[in-house]
């Protein structure tokens, strides 16, 4: 597989935290723990058989990928790319797309960061299969965003977190001095019309004041709200519901009878920057 040295030196064994090296079949740590490379190119760095309860299902990942490749989320990807370009220091670095799903945002970030490498990390196997081919400078790693990340201290220059879980203490541990956290969260009106049409559940993430409070060591650099009207086709409307929590809450009949409709896309992209020390 031959992963870039910058990526290999950032990865750590999930069992004993030792550095890892590449072997013919995957990765091996200095203490001898081995992690096989899947046929599709990703490697899972998780200890034991922790639950993957919150991992997206194959259907959710497929719906998300159709929407992303259909360009519906391009305004979000563009804003994420602008944000990483603004906080990136230097011509080389490592970006971690945490709970990165298909790697769509990792790819957008890497397009905006020539010379950088990327890791898309997620729990869901169907997401990792796609993330492994999301971008030539991106690798896909199976990892749990809610546990100790299989990454060295201060090894990541930008942590990108789009609609996914993250643990502040782990983000801070892996972030290099002068690095940045770029977070995309839905605003309260995000997808409101669509969710109301099917009596679905709304995902309300915390307000940005709460985000800043979770990272007192970081400085707020920039924040951009992206608000647009999406004129969804019937297929796209179904996919928007199928990729999220409403996949389990909305009756199949309601999904099937959903027609084309407009809804609001509304997200906040925030960048928080670590001191250089």
Ligand X SMILES: C[S@@+](CC[C@H](N)C(=O)[O-])C[C@H]1O[C@@H](n2cnc3c(N)ncnc32)[C@H](O)[C@@H]1O
**Measured between alpha carbons, how far is residue 45 from residues 32, 118, 123, 140, 145 in Å?**
14, 16, 10, 10, 11
Closer by beta carbon to Zn ion, 16 or else 231: 16
Closer by beta carbon to Zn ion, 17 or else 203: 17
CB distance 275 to 176 below 8 Å: no
Supply the minimum distance, in Å, between the C-beta of residue 275 and ligand X. Answer: 27
Closer by beta carbon to ligand X, 121 or else 175: 121
**Measured between alpha carbons, how far is residue 219 from residues 178, 179, 213, 258, 269 in Å?**
10, 11, 10, 43, 15
Which residue, 1, 52, 43, is CA-closest to 24?
1
| Bridge partners for 227 per DSSP | 266
- Binding to ligand X by CB under 6 A, coded x per residue (else -) over 58-87, reads ------x-----------------------
CB distance 40 to 128 below 8 Å: yes
Among 3, 14, 35, 56, binds ligand X (CB under 6 A): 56
181 binds ligand X (CB under 6 A): no
Q: Can you tell me whether residue 249 is helix, strand or coil?
A: helix
Angstrom distance (rounded) from CA 170 to CA 161: 13
User: What residue number has its CB nearest to ligand X?
Assistant: 101
Print the SS3 string covering 149-208: CCECCCCEEEEEEECCCCCHHHHHHHEEEEEEEEEEEECCCCCHHHHHHCCCCCCCCCCH
Partner whose footprint covers residue 176, from ligand X, Zn ion, none (CB < 5 to 8 Å by kind) = none
Supply the minimum distance, in Å, between the C-beta of residue 170 and ligand X. Answer: 11
242 binds ligand X (CB under 6 A): no
Supply the minimum distance, in Å, between the C-beta of residue 67 and ligand X. Answer: 9
Among 101, 118, 179, 186, binds ligand X (CB under 6 A): 101
Mutual angle of helices 58-69 and 234-242, in 10-degree steps: 140
The count of chain residues that interact with ligand X, using the rule CB under 6 A, is 21
Contacts with 65 (C-beta within 8 Å, 6 or more apart), sequence order: 102, 104, 130
- State the distance between the two ends of the chain, measured CA to CA, in whole angstroms: 35
Residues 10 to 29 in contact with Zn ion, rule: CB under 5 A: 13, 15-16, 18, 29
Residues 6 to 25 in contact with ligand X, rule: CB under 6 A: none
Among 14, 100, 150, 179, binds ligand X (CB under 6 A): 100
Supply the minimum distance, in Å, between the C-beta of residue 61 and ligand X. Answer: 7
Both tokens assigned to 135? 């971008």
Among 12, 27, 45, 144, binds ligand X (CB under 6 A): 144
122 binds ligand X (CB under 6 A): yes
Residues in the site for ligand X, rule: CB under 6 A?
54-56, 64, 99-102, 104-105, 122-124, 127, 144-146, 162-165
Residues in the site for Zn ion, rule: CB under 5 A?
13, 15-16, 18, 29, 31, 33
């Amino acid at each position: 597989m031959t992963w870039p040295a910058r990526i290999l030196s950032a990865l750590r064994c999930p069992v004993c935290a030792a550095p890892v090296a590449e072997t013919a079949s995957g990765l091996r740590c200095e203490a001898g723990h081995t992690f096989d490379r899947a046929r599709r190119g990703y490697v899972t760095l998780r200890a034991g058989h922790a639950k993957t309860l919150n991992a997206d299902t194959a259907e959710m990942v497929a719906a998300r990928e159709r929407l992303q490749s259909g360009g519906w989320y391009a305004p979000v990807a563009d804003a994420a790319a602008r944000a990483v370009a603004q906080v990136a220091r230097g011509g080389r670095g490592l970006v971690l797309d945490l709970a990165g799903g298909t790697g769509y945002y990792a790819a957008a970030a890497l397009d905006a960061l020539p010379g950088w490498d990327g890791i898309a990390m997620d729990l869901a196997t169907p997401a990792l299969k796609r993330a492994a081919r999301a971008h030539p400078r991106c690798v896909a790693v199976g990892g749990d965003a809610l546990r100790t990340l299989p990454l060295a201290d201060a090894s990541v220059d930008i942590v990108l977190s789009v609609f996914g879980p993250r643990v502040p203490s782990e983000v801070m541990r892996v972030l290099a001095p002068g690095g940045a956290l770029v977070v995309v969260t839905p605003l309260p009106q995000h997808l409101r019309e669509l969710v109301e049409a099917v009596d679905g559940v709304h995902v309300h993430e915390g307000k940005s004041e709460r985000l800043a409070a979770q990272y007192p060591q970081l400085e707020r650099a920039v924040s951009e709200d992206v608000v647009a009207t999406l004129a969804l086709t019937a297929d796209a409307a179904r996919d928007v519901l199928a990729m999220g929590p409403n996949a389990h809450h909305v009756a199949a009949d309601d999904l099937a009878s959903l027609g084309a409709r407009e809804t609001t896309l509304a997200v906040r992209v925030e960048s928080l920057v670590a001191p250089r020390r």
